[in-house]
A and B are shown apart, each in its own frame.
Chain A
């Protein structure tokens, strides 16, 4: 089952077993947003505390909590995301989100061309850290939506914070 081991890397299962930043924040003041995957019924709730003493992209996510339920991929991705974005500025989170999503789409293109895009993946690896473990998801296109559910929900929360 080599394909499966690409999908379910040990660190993914670790985050699934022991999700980081699991729980709720009082809302308000925290922003609370829900994300749904209508295909499989997965639900993610993201709570964000944002210190907006600095404006726009310089504002900092001081705390984050994740609620909801779903498969190992959606839950572990959201868990890793929460660890990666806590204490980061909105601008940094935007870059991270872009890197994560491009890791998914780079591989979609890579599969089409049957080549591995070496340079880009190495660059993404430096920034993404643990999240790199989700790279194998792109070999299972149906699961990409699971992996990006938390990120899209986070994006929605940031948009609400800034508006």
Chain B
């Protein structure tokens, strides 16, 4: 039996009814400090619709058994449910073969897998890795660790003043590079990067391309082949799914040639006293019992998004981002500085800003009193913070369940914070 998704709330395609979407997310009906919850931190982790929670409950209540290697019915159903989710993930990102989808703990583990498996097998002392100044620490530190061990050079694609990639020296930067690893959408300033153009140049220079899709995959249509990616990493919990489940997609030839990452049960064909034979991909990279319920939850999250339609999800986000840029700028003028591209078409819905010279930590504390959740800090992107010349920013980020009223509520709370800290 597969998990029945027929009860997924049906939304009319093309009609984006945010109030109805909000009602699918149980947490959004709670209050914080007696104020309605205004959740604007989806870039860190999204909320989960009822259908995702139910899919995981249903698994535990009706199927629960370890996957693979058992002849009894429950185990077979669990395996089928997990592999059905793998197929959903593959289709969601335009992959032609579900066996190109490896389940990991999160995108961080996915990127570490690339570094530790592909990187160790393919990078020699003196080789170069090309990253960008936009990257999350998860797409910096694994490469720095590897570079230190194997005497690799790390290069950086610089940024323009509005936090877009400056590709003017791309060709010389690519000389000697074996892998380009870059975000497709900044988690700090929302910038959508020109992955395809960079991938074409990288391939021409003989490099492979790894894309950190944590922010873009949940928020816009994704097609790994159109992107020109060789690897794509993302996390379930930013995509309406549960924590503890991430995805690494890679081209099959790459996965087949890569050595295993973690060793253990589930990733072998045979084990003898003098060695082992690894299983085929993707199982080669999935040692140990996988997070079965979370994988099924991720599948349900993808069903939910597909039901809305990713094109429409992106249109909603562009509209809401345009509203936020206009509303906040009109309302606060020079009191607010919004980092990154100033056009909604060029960015996602993660918006870092400075307000009234109030420190982001203090700002978010006051906003919390109004039920408004925004995140202060360096957003795991300290090199970008240094480039922006700040120690921290406040970041608001939105998703399918946010509407203009949420942005207006943010504006009201900022107004109150400005009064509270008026020096």
A interface with B by C-beta (< 8 Å):
1, 3-4, 7-8, 13, 17, 39-43, 69-73, 140, 143, 146
Contact = CB atoms under 8 A, between A and B. Distances in A.
B198 interface: no
B420 A146 contact: no
A128 B33 CA distance: 31
Interface residues of B, number: 19
Interface stretch (B202-210, B311-319, B362-370): B362-370
Interface stretch (B151-159, B243-251, B374-382): B374-382
A73 B376 CA distance: 14
B391 interface: yes
Nearest to A4: B369
A140 B416 CA distance: 19
B377 A71 contact: no
A40 B362 contact: no
B420 A41 contact: no
Nearest to B363: A71
Contact of A42 (B361, B366, B382): B361
Contacts, number: 52
B392 A7 contact: no
B286 to A, nearest CB: 31
Nearest to B359: A71
Nearest to A1: B369
Interface string B205-221: 00000000000000000
Nearest to A14: B423
Contact of B420 (A1, A17, A143): A1
Contact of A4 (B361, B366, B382, B385): B366
Contacts of A3: 33, 369
Given A3-B369, A4-B369, A41-B378, A146 B391 contact: no
Contacts of A72: 359, 361-362
Contacts of A143: 361, 365
Interface in B91-111: none
Contacts of B366: 1, 4
Given A40-B361, A40-B376, A70 B420 contact: no
Contact of A7 (B365, B382, B423): B365
Contacts of B382: 41
Nearest to A39: B377
A140 B377 CA distance: 17
Contacts of A146: 361
The 6 A-B residue pairs whose C-beta atoms are closest, nearest first, are: A71-B361, A41-B378, A71-B359, A41-B391, A41-B392, A40-B377
Contacts of B361: 40, 42, 70-73, 143, 146
A39 B362 CA distance: 14
